[in-house]
Amino acid sequence: MSDHQPMIHYLTYLLTQADRQGAAHLDGIVREEGITIEQWRILRVLSDGFGWTMGDLAEAALLTLPTLTRVADRMVGQAFIYRATDPADRRKVVIYLSDKGRAVGSRLHGRVIEQQQKLFAALGREKAEQLMSLLQELNAASDDVAPMRDEENATDSDHQGVLDADPMLHPQAAEQLARPDSVS
């Protein structure tokens, strides 16, 4: 018996596929304003009106610190954001949204929400909200599951929860997912 399974049986594959499709739609929207998806995420995070440290902004915008530094430098040059000394701790620098950045972010927000509403309509509002809720739960659960650093000392029981949850790591789970009677 072959342990080959179609890629659609792997959660990570489906998540990546959905991310790529969503990013393609989002990229089409933000490119009209001459910015990237990373820049849009930064504008969106900063739209709360508060100053953000580089570390906190990197985490919230899903960027590494070196990438944020490069993108932020570009955005300062475009006058979308500006840096200032943190009034609470003069050793820190915080990032703020400029008026120009706020205007671009506001225009994009409406178009992004419009695109999201189209996706909600295609999937059905209830399913779309359920999907968003499930993805939030998955992200929270994933934060609690740290990868094992010392695989050589790991036993099968150390991996059992992961093996049961991810068909990529456990072929029998993939086989069960492939059976029509296993779908509820």
pLDDT tens-digit readout, 56-102:
999 999 999 999 999 999 999 999 999 999 988 999 999 999 999 99
pLDDT of 2 reads 64
Please enumerate in sequence order all residues whose Cβ is within 8 A of that of 181, keeping only pairs 6 or more positions apart, or say none.
none
Would you say residue 163 has pLDDT above 90? no
Distance CA 96, CA 49 (A): 7
pTM score: 0.73
Please enumerate in sequence order all residues whose Cβ is within 8 A of that of 112, keeping only pairs 6 or more positions apart, or say none.
26, 29, 40
Distance of CA 156 to CAs 32, 63, 162, Å? Answer: 51, 34, 10
Residue 182 CA, distance from chain mean position: 29
165 confidence band (pLDDT: 50, 70, 90): very low
pLDDT tens-digit readout, 104-162:
999 999 999 999 999 999 999 999 999 999 999 998 998 777 665 554 444 444 444 43
Residue 20 or 177, more confident: 20
